Amino acid sequence: MKYVEFGTTGQKISAIAFGCMSLTREREANAKAAFLRAFELGITLFDTADIYGRGISEEILGEVLREGKISREQVIIASKCGIVSPGMNDAYTYKAYDLSPAYMKASCEASLKRLGTDYIDLYQPHRIDYLTHPQETARALDELKTEGKIRHVGVSNYTPDEIRALSAYIRVESLQTQFSLLHLEPLETGLASVCLEKKMNILCWSPLYGGILTGTKSLEHQDWQQQRESGVVTQVGEFARKYGLTSGQVSLAWLMHLPGGVIPLVGTANADHIQEATQAVDVQLARDDWYELMVIARGRPMPWRQRPYVYVRER
């Protein structure tokens, strides 16, 4: 396993992280086995959220740490709060976002109890709450840090301006956002640049685009979007054959080539899949190949100096 700098904390974290949305009661045994295999392979960052299974993911994460006799200091636990789904809180009958200090502090306490731990290494507002001033959100996070209940702050699904607004009041170490060869918005909207500016890691959720970039899923060709995705996957497969890798490994390696510590979050209940993913860590793609994959993903060439158009009136 390769390890990268974690923001400005001075810590090192694994170059691939394990996404714990797959920790469910329905596939508990397989999910726990995948978690333990990830830990054996050197993965140290495990990401969950209070909304995942309405707390079930956090419960199972706590259980597998105890059952596997894994020391708390050996792992970095990341969790999230702020999405309120009906049934999670009696005060809500409609799905909403809440980053008010009272709600965040209560959410953190509940997560700590489910995880069976005294602290969360990385605590992340899951979505922006338009009704709470970022200074208030920062105040709650700062108080949780002072109380020793969280160690570091990240954000999830924030825009560049939302990152800047919160960063004005508290240090933010990471951004969790959707990012893959089939979802390039972090590069095209300035998110990746802001993270470099702020020395924040990017944690990529759905780095294989729901498994489509593995090349193992069939797509409906009557759907124009799936036709596009199928074309990208076919061309990624050509690079996989060139490098002697799987399409999924090429897709993960492409992300990890970006500067600043870009970390794919791989969520799976299959131990073999997590082992395959970790083998992408040491893959070296040629610069030319990286950019060709970018062009394939964009569906258009990279910007280039073009001859200006000159209008000549016919006589």
Distance CA 93, CA 279 (A): 44
Q: Of the candidates 264, 272, 202, 302, which has an alpha carbon nearest to the alpha carbon of residue 30?
A: 272
* Spatial contact of 46 and 77, defined as CB atoms under 8 Å apart: yes
Looking at 3, 52, 97, 243, which residue is catalytic?
52
Q: Under 8 Å CB-to-CB from 154, ≥6 apart: which residues?
A: 78, 122, 123, 124, 172, 173, 174, 175, 176, 200, 203
Q: Decide if 52 is catalytic.
A: yes
Residue 210 CA: distances (Å) to CA of 79, 80, 169, 213, 217: 21, 20, 35, 8, 10
Element (H, E) at 282: none
Residue 133 CA: distances (Å) to CA of 123, 166, 208: 18, 9, 34
Question: Tokens standing for 158?
Answer: 């924030």
Give the catalytic positions in this structure: 52
